[in-house]
Amino acid sequence: MIPIPEISRPVPEPAERHAGLALALGIGALVLLYAWLFISGDRFFVRKTAVMPVFVLYGLLQRRRVAFLADWLPLLTGTVLFDAVRGAIFKAEYLVGYPWFANYVIVLERLVIRTPAAPLVLQQWRTHTLDLLAVLIHGSHFAFFLLFGLVLWHSRRAYFGQFRYALLLVMGIGLIGYAVVPTVPPWMASDPLHLLPPITHIAKFVYTSFSEELYGTFDSNPVAAMPSLHAAFPMTCALIGWRAYGRRAGIALTLYAGLVMLAVVYLGEHYVVDAIAGIGVAFAAVYISGRRVSEAWSMKESLTISGAALALTFVLLWAYS
C-alpha cells in the first residue's frame, strides 16, 4: 500500500492568536456598550449608531475579516465617540452657561446671499411631499458615508486609508467648532430667540410624527450648526470619489452632496454659510489626508485606538446619562 501522508492543520502563529483574542475582546466590548446603553435608557444613541455593530458582524463574515476590521474599527468607534462627544459638549455648555451664538451667522448669511436666512426663501414653496423628501435626504447622510466607505473598501481599498483619515479629521474639526462657537440653527434663531421671522422646524415635526424620540436620534446637539457636517460628510465622499472612481462617479456624488445641503437648508437646520463652511472643512480634510501616507493599520494598532475610543465613550455617556 502507498502510504498516505498525514495532513495536519497549520498551527496559528502567536501574533495571529493574539490578534484573534484582541479582536474577540474588542467586539465583546462593543456589544457590552450597546447592551448597557439600551438598559440604561440611552436608546436614542443606540438607534443612531446601531449600524456600527452591524458593520462589525458584516466584517466577521468576510474572508479578509482581520483586514476589514483592522481598517474599519477605528472609523466605527471614532464615529460612536464623535456622537457621544457632540452630545457631551452640548450638556457641558448648557450646565456652565456658555453662550450660544446667533447674530454673527445671520450677518454672514445676509452678506453672502442677501437674506438673513435662506430657509425663509425656500420654505415659501413648502409642500408635504417636499418635507418628506427633505427629511429622507437629511436622515440618509449618516448611513451614506458608511455605505460609500464599504464600496470603496471592496473596490478601491488603496483609497480607504485616506477616506478614513479625512472623515476622522472632519469629525474632529466639527467638534472644535461646536465647542468654541456653538451656533444656533435658523429654526432656533426664529423660535424661541425671535431673531428671524417664522421658520418651521420641519424635521422635528416629521420625525416626531413617527416617534417622539426619533428626532433626538438625529440631534444630540441642537446648537451644532457651524460648520455643517451634513455638508462636510457627503462632500468628503465626493472628493474621494473623484480620485478613486473618476469624473462620472465624482459628479454623481457631488450632486448628492448638493441635495443634502439643499435639504438641510430647506428644513431650517442650517444656513447657507454653514454649508459653505462644511465644504471648506471637507476640502481641508481631504487635502491634509492626501499628503499623508495612508498605510494599513495592524490589528493591534486598530484595537488600541478603538479600545481607547470605546472607553472614552463609556465615560462620557456615564457622565451625562
In one letter, which amino acid is 74?
Answer: P
C-alpha cell of 250? Answer: 465624482
CA distance 77 to 178: 20
In a domain, 159, yes or no: yes
Length of the chain equals 321
In a domain, 155, yes or no: yes
* 140 shares a domain with 26: no
* 39 shares a domain with 118: no
| Residue whose entry in the numeric block shows the C-alpha cell 450648526 | 225
* 111 shares a domain with 91: no
* 227 shares a domain with 165: yes
In a domain, 2, yes or no: no
- How many domains is the chain built from? 2
Buried b (16+ CB within 10 A) or exposed e, 225-250: bbbbbbbbbbbbbbbbbbebbeeebb
* 159 shares a domain with 78: no
CB 72 within 8 A of CB 157: no
In one letter, which amino acid is 137?
Answer: I
* 145 shares a domain with 89: no
Per-residue pLDDT tens listing for the chain (321 residues)? 445 444 444 444 444 455 555 555 655 665 666 566 555 555 455 455 666 777 777 877 878 878 888 888 888 888 888 888 888 888 888 888 899 999 999 999 999 999 999 999 999 999 989 998 998 888 888 788 988 999 999 999 889 989 999 999 999 999 999 999 999 999 999 988 889 999 988 887 777 665 555 555 556 778 888 999 999 999 999 999 999 999 899 999 999 999 999 999 999 999 999 999 999 999 999 999 886 655 666 677 777 777 778 778 777 766 666
pLDDT for 188 equals: 92
In a domain, 11, yes or no: no
Q: Is 41 left (phi over 0), alpha (psi -120 to 50) or beta?
A: left
* 264 shares a domain with 146: yes
The candidate with the shortest Cα–Cα distance to 171, out of 83, 101, 99, is 83
The candidate with the shortest Cα–Cα distance to 177, out of 253, 247, 229, 121, is 229
In a domain, 4, yes or no: no
* 73 shares a domain with 158: no
C-alpha cell of 219? Answer: 440631534
Say if residue 119 is exposed, middle or buried (CB neighbours under 10 Å; 0-12, 13-18, 19+). buried
* 264 shares a domain with 119: yes
CA distance 124 to 126: 6
Residue 297: count of CB within 10 angstroms of its CB: 17
CA distance 18 to 61: 20
CB 265 within 8 A of CB 141: no
In a domain, 3, yes or no: no
* 198 shares a domain with 61: no
C-alpha cell of 140? Answer: 440618509
CA distance 121 to 265: 10
Buried b (16+ CB within 10 A) or exposed e, 42-55: bebbbbbbebbbeb
**pTM given for the model:** 0.83
In a domain, 157, yes or no: yes
In a domain, 282, yes or no: yes
CA distance 285 to 233: 10
Domain interval for residue 318? 16-98+296-321
Scanning 123-159, the segments in alpha helix (DSSP H) are: 128-155
Residues 6+ apart with CB under 8 A from 300: 18, 19, 22
CB 231 within 8 A of CB 275: yes
* 139 shares a domain with 109: yes
* 192 shares a domain with 115: yes
